[in-house]
Amino acid sequence: MRLSRDLVAGGLILLLSAFLWWVTTTFDSDPLGMAQGMPATHMPRLILGVIAALTVLMILQSLSKGGEALGGLPPWQMPATAAVLGLAALLFTSLGVPLVFFGVCLTLPIMWGTRKYAAVAAFAVGVPVAIYIVFKLLLGLRLPMGPLAALGL
């Protein structure tokens, strides 16, 4: 087995996820009957579990295909993606989750070279709508809505 990009990145993601899971064990827990929606300790663990599961799938897929060898410097899109995601994290409280996810889902595919603009637009609208339905309506979480809060969302 040779060391591949996906194996290295996946290992780092799994280590970070395990550390963050441990951090969630230090949170004060709400009694299950007292929490509105999902308790504060469960939501981060749910997200970390999904990240870890998808990372394991990425590693297994890479191992089945032989993996891409470690190479030189990553393309410019990688640090630009990190910058876009960092900016998104800063904008969540002011612009709200739906608008930030719309911007991220619109920006990243185009930045990485896709020219299927109709599909990108559908993706950019669909992801925030899905996040709103799952997390706000189904799980009852209070998401920062930014200017959309004026619409009663």
- Confidence (pLDDT) at 151: 87
- Confidence (pLDDT) at 74: 65
- Confidence (pLDDT) at 68: 65
- Confidence (pLDDT) at 2: 60
Which structural domain range is residue 65 located in?
Answer: 1-72
Q: Does 102 share its domain with 149?
A: yes
Q: Rounded CA gap, 123 and 103, in Å?
A: 11
Q: Does 41 share its domain with 86?
A: no
pLDDT in tens, the chain (153 residues): 566 777 888 888 999 999 998 988 887 776 555 556 666 677 788 889 999 999 999 888 888 877 666 666 567 888 899 899 999 999 988 999 999 999 999 999 999 889 999 999 999 999 999 999 988 888 887 888 889 888 887
Q: Does 81 share its domain with 68?
A: no
Question: Given 72, 102, 122, which residue is the final one in a domain?
Answer: 72
- Confidence (pLDDT) at 19: 93
Residue 13 tokens, joined: 């993601």
- Confidence (pLDDT) at 34: 56
Q: Does 83 share its domain with 48?
A: no
* Residue showing tokens 């200017």: 147
- Confidence (pLDDT) at 25: 84
- Confidence (pLDDT) at 117: 95
Domain count, the chain: 2
Q: Rounded CA gap, 2 and 68, in Å?
A: 9
Q: Rounded CA gap, 32 and 55, in Å?
A: 29
Instruction: Provide the β-strand partners of residue 4.
Output: 69
Q: Does 98 share its domain with 47?
A: no
Q: Does 128 share its domain with 150?
A: yes
DSSP tag of 133: I
What single letter denotes the amino acid at residue 73? L
